[in-house]
Amino acid sequence: MKYASAVCAAFTAVLLSTTALAQTGTIKSIRLSSGGVAEYVRSLDIGDDGNAVVEVPTDQMDDFLKTLVVSGPAPVKGLSTTGPGMIDETFKALPIKSQDLDSAAGVLKALRGAPVSANGVKGRIVGVEPSTEKQRARLIVLLDSGAFDVAEIGGAMTYRLDDPKDAEMVSRAAELLSNDRVQGTRTVTIALDGKASTAVDISYVVAAPLWKPSYRIIVDAKGKARLQAWAVLENASGEDWNGVSISLTSGKPVTLRQRLYARTWPQREEVPAAAAYLDVAGAKPGMIGGALLDKEVAEAPAPVMAAAAAAATADEGDVVANFDLPGTYDLKNGETISVPILDHEIGAEFVALYREGAQHPDAALVLTNDTATSLPPAVAAVYDEKGRYVGDARIGNMKPGGVETATFAADQKIDQEMATTTSSAFRTVVVKDGYLDATLERRVRKTFTAWGADADRKFIAEDPAMAGWELVSSEGVEETPQGARATIVVPAGKKVSITIEWRMVENETQAIADIDDTVILQWLDESPSPDIAEKLQGLVTARTAQKEAERDLSTVMQAIQDATSESSRISGMLVSVGDTPLKQQFLQDLTEQEKSIKALRVQRDEARDRLEKLRKKLGEAIARL
């Protein structure tokens, strides 16, 4: 079946309108951020109606609404666009559904009752017979005469929708489907209050691939190096860039997402009808007239404001470093380019850097950022003064004037080793009222040794800080934010050492009666003063004697318990044997047990007396402290 002029005109209008609206303006500049976003500046033509129109990819609508800035002499009245659910909302009010547009039979069946002209015959659509294996689908038309006419859908048949509203409805439905499914974009109309010029600039920020820096460092023999920074960037915007100015920013910007374009519906509590009437008097504000609450809650876009002037040259911002690339660039969608962004001489000293657990130190460069711009973190390819590649180094974020040590290889011309020693000593010991207050100073010394250099070489050892420890000042050792750094020159053919020393002062207060002997003996090993050592030794001796007396008393008490148990056993045996020869033997044994128990009780009393005297002696020893 061929569509008649009204239907064909509707679809032609859809195609023309979507083509006319599919404009993106001219990209003037792009600022790529290390936060994974890009700021676009576009120039849009202003139509005779005072509006500027731009097509925005649907997946960028949230960011577009959040960040749009319009610059120009004419004030902005607002912007409008197709909603995210426009197709579903529109088709709810139409008798035709999106799937009906897949076939002529579907359109005609959905428009049952609509006036139609088919092969010159006017009538209303009654229905559509489905197709079978033997025949095509057929249109059933009720003619003005009251008769029915049936025509095959397909072939050379021609029909036309006679009601312009029906044709307009089909056109609108097709337009919606075209915009959503074919283009995947939304047409945004920016309304200006008066046409003050023929064009307007807009800027907005959307997601973009990260641009990646990389460095080349060529070291000379004079403590300098040539630093060249390159930027790798790609166009993944979905459109070509033609004659575009490109800027790069590095830093750690906060980039947030907000669902401004997606619809947000409130959650409401459902109340039974009877309960709603009964509770009207006590209803909370907003509960009556619930139909109002059914409307969507739209999140307002960010206010449109005048655009700030863009920086013209590379500079160090408050929180980011900016690199404005010279000239303009043509970059097709999907292409990647690498361009130099910095070429500058910086300070670079070649050193050997101690590497824990290794036989050889690392070959490293102490770099000084002599540029006026922060250097973003990246990997640097290192070359010697003759341009020969010698290794890769990691460069952290370096502020202007910042210094960083970057390793790039193992320095096999130098051997190294490290030895650690620890010591501790009492600084003060105060005993009062049965308590001991001790101040102990501990020290850790790390001695780094290097040898084997064929020429004078600077050797650097870095040691991380330890919580509670402070660095002991010494020649060649400096404190750093991370800990300590020791620097020494290794002469050719000689062996040299340097030590990093840390110390920590500990204060401890304990009741002397609660202090274990092993702890006191450990204190004696810390070399206290002779007077304190004598008193502590007396305390240990008194406590040792007391513990021995306690063990002796415990032994006697256990012997008494065993003898008493044996006496009870013999008494039981006397009862069981009666008047027999064994009786005399058991009586004799029982007598011996009683004598033994009596002697043990004497020993017990003596042990108790001795223990009591030793306890008094220990108290006197504590008092003497």
Residue 230 pLDDT > 70: yes
How many helices and strands in the chain, by DSSP H and E?
9, 31
Mean pLDDT of 194-207: 86
Cα distances (angstroms) measured from residue 484 to each of 34, 465, 467, 470, 598: 33, 7, 13, 10, 74
* pLDDT tens figures, 280-293: 444 444 333 333 33
What phi, psi does 144 have (nearest 5°)?
Answer: -60, -25
% of the chain exceeding 90 in pLDDT: 33
The tokens describing 516, both together, are 């274990």
148 or 211, which is more confident: 211
The tokens describing 129, both together, are 């017979």
Reported as a pLDDT band with limits 50, 70 and 90, residue 28 is very high
Integer Cα distance of 334 and 319 in angstroms: 30
Q: What is the pLDDT of residue 578?
A: 74
Q: What is the pLDDT of residue 292?
A: 32
- Nearest one of 566, 413, 437 to 490, comparing CA atoms: 413
Q: What is the pLDDT of residue 22?
A: 45
What phi, psi does 184 have (nearest 5°)?
Answer: 65, 30
Least confident of 42-51, 182-191, 542-551: 182-191
Residues in the chain: 625
Cβ atoms of residues 178 and 18 within 8 Å: yes
* pLDDT tens figures, 317-326: 666 788 899 8
The three-state (H, E, C) secondary structure of 160-206, written as one string: EECCHHHHHHHHHHHHHHHHHHHHCEEEEEEEECCCCCCEEEEEEEE
End-to-end CA distance of the chain: 117
Q: What is the pLDDT of residue 90?
A: 63
126 or 83, which is more confident: 126
Reported as a pLDDT band with limits 50, 70 and 90, residue 527 is low
Q: What is the pLDDT of residue 519?
A: 67
* pLDDT tens figures, 494-510: 999 999 999 999 887 77
Residue 158 pLDDT > 80: no
Q: What is the pLDDT of residue 155?
A: 64
Cβ atoms of residues 436 and 625 within 8 Å: yes
* pLDDT tens figures, 270-283: 877 655 444 444 44
- Nearest one of 343, 338, 376 to 232, comparing CA atoms: 338
Least confident of 350-359, 485-494, 503-512: 503-512
Integer Cα distance of 232 and 376 in angstroms: 13
164-177 helix and 5-21 helix, angle to the nearest 10 degrees: 40
502 or 7, which is more confident: 502
Q: What is the pLDDT of residue 298?
A: 40
Q: Residue 473 carries which DSSP code? A: P
For 229, the 3-state DSSP assignment is strand
Q: What is the pLDDT of residue 328?
A: 92
Mean pLDDT of 510-538: 68
Mean pLDDT of 145-163: 73
478 or 424, which is more confident: 478
Residue 409 pLDDT > 60: yes
- pTM, entire model: 0.60
Amino acid identity for residue 274 in this structure: A
Q: Residue 264 carries which DSSP code? A: B
The residue behind tokens 């309960």 is 275
